[in-house]
Structure 1
Amino acid sequence: MNSLALVIVGLAMMLTGYALYSRFLGAKIYRLSESYLTPAHTMEDGVDYVPTNKYVLWGHHFTSVAGAAPIIGPAVAVIWGWVPAFLWVTLGTVFFAGMHDLGALWASQRHRGQSIGTLSGRYIGARGRNLFLVVIFLLLLMVNAAFAVVIANLLISTPTAVIPTWGAIVVAVLIGQAIYRLKWNLPIVSVVGVTALYALMIIGDRVPLALPETVLGIPDRGIWIIILFAYAFAASMLPVWVLLQPRDYINGLQLFVGLLILYASFLITRPDVAAPAFNADVPDGTPSIFPLLFVTIACGAISGFHGIVSSGTSSKQLDKETDARFVGYFGSVGEGLLALGTIVATTSGFKTLANWQEIYHEWNAGGVGAFVQGGGSLINEGLGIPTSLSATILATMAVLFAATTMDSGVRLQRLVVEEMAELLGFKLSGVVATIIAVGCAFGLTFSTGLDGSGGMLIWPLFGTTNQLMAGLTLSILVVILTHLRRPTWPVLIPLCVVTVMSLWAAVLQLRTLWAAQNWLLLVIDVIIIIAAVWVIVESFTAIGRARRSPQVQWSDSDTDAPAPVHAG
């Protein structure tokens, strides 16, 4: 099997999905309106609510939702063979992820940019909202703690990525000033910014930087993690236009150029797929493909974290409601293309099946390392870029994806903490809420020692929690669409698939945790399952109420969508 066929079919499916299916969703299901005035205008505050060019906002959304997950998930999942991973990524992007991200963005910006957790209280009741916020808080805690560890590990394993990683922050601040203060031409700023980032990669490849093995008794990984949390604290407090937006935008462009380089290498080398289509000879300890495939590949097919970003930051920056199709759906397409590129790199970047099996000798052996190794080999062979620089480009891609997700994750955690405080009857300042958000992730990360290994402590629950979160978001969308008397099948079918697979995986995980006597994760997993089931039951009860209640009408003149009469 030649990998070029996978690239052509995958690209055709995703781009056709954007051209046709997203247009159907925008016109018939979500009914996006050019004349509706978004919260970015009606609630503009220069900090969180800022009307944003759709291309800049796409960069923020794409890089925030992507992270390292669309690399890690597919790079692990190909252990079951390339066919299952390919089908789930392509079909998931077209019919699940794009619809989910677009829907969450649409629903939030029609309700003053409120988070999906707040919307759950509005449409299914206070109990559902409280449980929803518990799941969101735990999911963000996992992301913020684990991604700090992932980034630190990459900076240690690939010291050539240090200069471009931190240099990107300086470039982003200058880009923000150029766009918003100096009002420079966006295409010119974009070209200059991307050129600067790639120049930094060349410098980084020639001047690798590494911390001492220990500083004041703290291992180098622990020091990197402390630096990352200090940066995330500062970044989450700044107005979005100063750092978050321009950083995500320029990273999005740079990462898209990186994807073009990767795909160009596929086109030139046209390598054969070394991995089996269906792998019957999996290593001992590899779990069953059902339901694990559907939670191993989350980002790149559908991910609950996307709903948190869509309703947490992106909805507050949407200039026009019609921009939601490009920002939300095409943002998912961008992530799907990264996942597809990962599948090709990790199945075709090795010359023989034996070479591939050396990497995939055990469950979870694949990951970012397999992506960097396989992709770097193809780029070197196809474009003649030195292997070291190829690895630097791909490693920097992975770091910047993870870093932008962590940026947004801490900011979102701050907003969730503020929401939870309001529900308890008091108001927290942004600084206090950020201290709590960063403090929880920091405490978890260093809970098992100064090396920061505690950051991965509850990460094994991420896959199931993330997909359960996607199911919960979809359930809210079904309730809203039912109140509006609009077709629900494009949302209801993915809701059923995602919910069944994620609950199935969560229950199987209980058995594994019980056998391993991992009581901490067992208790957290039970809490997550109970909360998710409870919210889903209340959601379907709310759907029944919505069918019996009068139709809700939304007008373009409403600055906040009218709530249903019987919300629970």
Structure 2
Amino acid sequence: MNSLLLMVITFLGYIVAYQFYGKFIGHKIFQLTNKNKMPAHEFEDGVDFVPTKKHIVLGHHFTTIAGTGPIVGPAIGIIWGWGPALLWIFFGSIFMGAVHDFSALIISARNQGRTLGDLTGNLISPSTKYAFQFIIQFLLWIVLAIFAMIMGILFVKYPQSVFPVWMEIPIAMWLGYEIKKGKSDTLYSIIAVVLMYVTIFLGLYIPISLPGSANAQIITWAVILFGYVFIASTLPVQTLLQPRDYINSHELLIAMGLLVLGVVFAHPQMTAPVVNEAAKAAGTDIPNLMPILFITIACGAISGFHSLAASGTTVKQVDKEKDTLAIGYGGMILEGVLATIVLIAIGGGLGMGLASKDGTLLTGSAAYASHYASWAGAAGLGAKLEAVIVGAANLMTSIGIPKDLGMSIMAVFVVSFAGTTLDSATRIQRFSFQEIMKKKDGKVMKPFDNRFISTGIVVILAAILTFLQPGGKGALILWPMFGALNQLLAALALLIATVYLSSKGKNILVTFIPMVFMLIMTIWAMFINLNKFIGMKNGLLITLSVIIMLLTAWLLIGAFMALAKNLKNREVVIEEEE
């Protein structure tokens, strides 16, 4: 199939979905109104709670939820063929992911900006709050540890990205300072993005590598990153977080625009197979399509981390309630667009030219077959990103951008987004940790009410996990649990949304149906993983998997009891009205 036709059809589908389904959920189900006071105004403190313009918050939210997820996920998922991957990305983002993200954002906005983990105590029962918060803390612990390692690996693999990524910090702080003074955010953000792309160009000529072996460099970068993230996540959001994410969102739009133009001018055929039968039938060598595809491609379709971002940092910056539709639902649709472009870059762009290990230039289906010859062949962060970066750079050459510069643009784009996720995840975990430490009067017990102390605890624990293994790869100990755990969180977030809607007497099907689907896929995947861990005789992963399953069962029982109670109360009200 022609990649241009595929892109046009999916993009039109996303627009129609937002205009009809998104607005139906926002206006008919949740009944958005600007009469409700937002937490950003109610608790404005100049640090975390800061009312902000819609497009700036959208930029922050989008760069936070995107990270490397919608890039790496499709790069792995296409091993089953671009057809199953695209269908999951398209329909998943519209009917599941966008609903999930928006629901988490608006429910938190109507409850003082509290995270979904904290709200569980009110919507279900006080005891289930701690079960949900444990799952959240465990997930974020892995995220912080793994992303520090990922960024270290990317800096080593793409030394040309080091200079522009670190130069983005002073550029962002300058932008934040100018906007705070009342200067035009549009004009100054354009200047900031231009400066950012100048640094990308300069990075080609001043690649930065640290001394020592690759493992030693990764460890050094991880130490630097943990120090950076402690400072960045404790600064007021308008000082660094907002302006940097605003720059990243513009950087993303430019990168996406370049890739779209590349598809328009090159319009390569999708040389990857629609369905890769060999991958589906490979048995133990390659995981089966069901349910692993729905765990592998997360951020491009639905991801539990998004609910933490929505009810963590994003909600504390929303100015008006009606802004939540564009930020929550629209932000996820944009991520679906990004994942679709990534899929096309691999499925079509990779076929424009890929150098094999012996230096032979492979084109067409041979390029895909070489890279995805086996599950092991596509394993590892480098291999996953290589398919995207090479395919994207190939598309950019069709509009006159040299391949080296195109690869540098994509490398900086990927690393910048990983940095945003690292920063935001640290801040979110601090919020969640402080909520756990709340006393009965609602105040956080001392000294954990101090953001520097709470952030320090979060960062130190992540650093300990990272350095448990050589090369900063300690998080890989728990990484086999991450995919299923992340999607479990998405299912549980939809469960909370369903309970919330039932308590308000609203139609619950918009969240109930995707919740059931995600629960089935996730629990199925968790049992597959548990069986694998038993075969490996890995006592740690077996124990943690069983604990997560028991906590999930506890949450499900409590949630369905609350749901049944809400539905029964609704029937009583209807009978009394009659």
Shorter chain as denominator, the TM-score bin is over 0.9
Partners of 1:265 and 1:378 within 8 A in 2: yes
Deviation at 1:533, TM superposition (A): 2.4
Give the partner amino acid of 1:123: L
Q: Which residue of structure 1 lines up, in the alignment, with residue 244 of structure 2?
A: 247
Equivalent residue for 1:279, pick from 268, 276, 279? 276
Deviation at 1:345, TM superposition (A): 1.0
Q: In the alignment, does 2:285 pair up with 1:265?
A: no
Q: Which residue of structure 1 lines up, in the alignment, with residue 143 of structure 2?
A: 143
Give the partner amino acid of 2:366: A
Partners of 1:115 and 1:312 within 8 A in 2: yes
Deviations 1:487-530 (CA, angstroms, capped at 9, x unpaired): 11111110011111011001101111111222222222222222
Partners of 2:108 and 2:116 within 8 A in 1: yes
Q: Distance in 1 between matches of 2:479 and 2:229?
A: 19
Q: In the alignment, does 2:111 pair up with 1:95?
A: no
For residues 284-299 of structure 1, the aligned pairs below 5 Å read: 285-299=285-299
For residues 473-492 of structure 1, the aligned pairs below 5 Å read: 473-492=493-512
Aligned residues: 548
Q: Which residue of structure 2 lines up, in the alignment, with residue 112 of structure 1?
A: 112
Partners of 2:505 and 2:570 within 8 A in 1: no
Q: Distance in 2 between matches of 1:267 and 1:530?
A: 50
Deviations 1:428-471 (CA, angstroms, capped at 9, x unpaired): 1211111110011100000113x101132212211101111011
Equivalent residue for 1:222, pick from 199, 219, 222? 219
Partners of 1:274 and 1:347 within 8 A in 2: yes
Q: Distance in 1 between matches of 2:544 and 2:195?
A: 44
Equivalent residue for 1:447, pick from 439, 445, 468? 468
For residues 503-518 of structure 1, the aligned pairs below 5 Å read: 503-518=523-538
Partner-residue secondary structure (3-state), 1:219: helix
Deviation at 1:23, TM superposition (A): 0.7
Q: Which residue of structure 2 lines up, in the alignment, with residue 545 of structure 1?
A: 565
Q: In the alignment, does 2:408 pair up with 1:392?
A: yes
Q: Which residue of structure 2 lines up, in the alignment, with residue 564 of structure 1?
A: none
Q: Which residue of structure 2 lines up, in the alignment, with residue 27 of structure 1?
A: 27
Deviations 1:220-246 (CA, angstroms, capped at 9, x unpaired): 110001111110000111011111111
Q: Distance in 1 between matches of 2:571 and 2:244?
A: 43
Partner-residue secondary structure (3-state), 2:277: coil
Equivalent residue for 2:547, pick from 502, 524, 527? 527
Deviations 1:380-428 (CA, angstroms, capped at 9, x unpaired): 2x11211111111111111111110110001111111111222598331
Note the residue ranges of structure 1 that are not aligned, 5 or more in a row. 554-568
Deviation at 1:537, TM superposition (A): 2.0
Q: Which residue of structure 2 lines up, in the alignment, with residue 308 of structure 1?
A: 308
Q: Distance in 2 between matches of 1:313 and 1:472?
A: 19
Deviation at 1:352, TM superposition (A): 1.8
Partners of 2:89 and 2:340 within 8 A in 1: yes
| 1:45–1:485 Cα change, 3 Å | same
Q: Which residue of structure 1 lines up, in the alignment, with residue 212 of structure 2?
A: 213
Q: Which residue of structure 2 lines up, in the alignment, with residue 370 of structure 1?
A: 387
Q: Which residue of structure 2 lines up, in the alignment, with residue 201 of structure 1?
A: 200
For residues 135-214 of structure 1, the aligned pairs below 5 Å read: 135-180=135-180, 182-213=181-212
Q: Which residue of structure 2 lines up, in the alignment, with residue 561 of structure 1?
A: none
Note the residue ranges of structure 2 that are not aligned, 5 or more in a row. 352-362, 574-578
Comparing 337-346 with 426-435, which one deviates more in the overlay? 426-435
Q: In the alignment, does 2:403 pair up with 1:404?
A: no
Partners of 1:484 and 1:552 within 8 A in 2: no
Comparing 226-235 with 31-40, which one deviates more in the overlay? 31-40
Percent identity reads 37
Deviation at 1:551, TM superposition (A): 9.6
Equivalent residue for 1:238, pick from 235, 258, 274? 235
Q: Which residue of structure 2 lines up, in the alignment, with residue 357 of structure 1?
A: 369
Deviation at 1:214, TM superposition (A): 5.0
Deviations 1:267-318 (CA, angstroms, capped at 9, x unpaired): 1100011111110122661100000010101101011000001001111111
| 1:552–1:62 Cα change, 3 Å | farther
Deviation at 1:538, TM superposition (A): 1.2
Partners of 2:164 and 2:200 within 8 A in 1: yes
Deviation at 1:473, TM superposition (A): 0.7
Partners of 1:152 and 1:225 within 8 A in 2: yes
Q: Distance in 2 between matches of 1:232 and 1:270?
A: 41
TM-score of the aligned structures, taking structure 1 as reference length: 0.94
TM-score of the aligned structures, taking structure 2 as reference length: 0.92
Partner-residue secondary structure (3-state), 2:208: coil
Q: Distance in 2 between matches of 1:64 and 1:331?
A: 10
Q: Distance in 2 between matches of 1:169 and 1:433?
A: 23
Equivalent residue for 2:452, pick from 409, 428, 431? 431
Partners of 1:232 and 1:407 within 8 A in 2: yes
Partner-residue secondary structure (3-state), 2:445: coil
| 1:552–1:26 Cα change, 3 Å | farther
Give the partner amino acid of 2:544: I
Q: Which residue of structure 2 lines up, in the alignment, with residue 415 of structure 1?
A: 431
Q: Distance in 1 between matches of 2:438 and 2:464?
A: 24
Q: In the alignment, does 2:480 pair up with 1:460?
A: yes
Partners of 1:201 and 1:393 within 8 A in 2: yes
**Pairwise CA RMSD of aligned residues?**
1.7
Partner-residue secondary structure (3-state), 1:73: helix
Deviations 1:67-120 (CA, angstroms, capped at 9, x unpaired): 101111110000001000000001111111111111100000100000000110
Q: Which residue of structure 1 lines up, in the alignment, with residue 134 of structure 2?
A: 134
Deviation at 1:127, TM superposition (A): 2.0
Partners of 1:483 and 1:552 within 8 A in 2: no
